[in-house]
Amino acid sequence: MNASLRASALRRAYLRMTLALSPALGVLWLAWDGQVLAAVLLFCTVLTTMMIGTLVPRCALFGPMIKRLPRADNQVLLTIDDGPHPQHTPAILDLLDRHHIKALFFLVGERAAQHPQLVREIVARGHEIGNHTQTHPATTFWMLRPVRLWREIAGCQETLTTLCPEQPPRFFRPPAGHHNIFTAQIAGALGLRMMLWSARGFDGVDQRVPVITQRIASRLQAGAIVLIHECTPVAVEVAQEVTALLAASGLKCDTPPASLAFGDDEMVVERRAAP
């Protein structure tokens, strides 16, 4: 990636870090002034705000994100994370063809580099590819500093653009949806719009296919962005049920429109359904 673009993006990220840490001065001043309770309240407020913005996937506190499509278009978007996978991807592509569905595959850069023919096959069949980081550090992504974040996002962008220069990724999705104060800014510097979801079945942690499908069905409506995964023990079974569900919904299932913009809908705290 362009060195000047990287330097500019990292400067802005570290400026944002400085601003985010500025309340610490207020905490120290209050503590020094003997106002211990006020210092504790300020510290807890700032910490809580940071944790909500970081760990609640659909919270847009730290930057704009796409959480749904325009309802008026009568369209849903199927997004498929974590591929490509040598067995799952071909099977899922066949299911999509069978039901005349186009999807957005959020791919992991290092997996794409291992299976370049699958990436090209996804694009050749009329689907779109998105950026899902270079190594998918799902448990630590939310705490990465700007330099490592740049490596993850820019590295994946470079990998996928090299494989499919005619269709570079337009969208970025953070692993597990977790993001920090730098994520949207770094993604934006790379020309990417951050996309989350509005309907998921938690198939990354649950293997009960009927339950997964029902969770998605309960949130399926015009404008929904549906999330399923590759690289799970039930990936193909989930894809089979969800593609059939989408085909029967009467809603258009296509790749995102070129004019898709950030949404301004309210923050929704998504809770995992009870078993």
Catalytically annotated residues: 81, 229
- Residue showing tokens 């500093």: 145
Q: What share of the chain is helix, strand, coil (3-state, %, to 5)?
A: 50, 10, 40
Alpha-carbon gap, residue 240 to 226, rounded angstroms: 14
The alpha carbon of residue 8 and the mean position of all alpha carbons in its chain are separated, in whole angstroms, by 24
User: Where do runs of H (alpha helix) occur along the chain?
Assistant: 3-21, 23-32, 36-55, 88-98, 109-114, 116-124, 146-163, 183-189, 209-218, 235-249
CA 115 – CA 171 distance, rounded (Å): 21
Question: Distance (Å, rounded) from C-alpha 156 to C-alpha 150?
Answer: 10
Unique residue bearing structure tokens 């970025």: 172
Angle at 108 between CA 112 and CA 231, to 5 degrees: 95
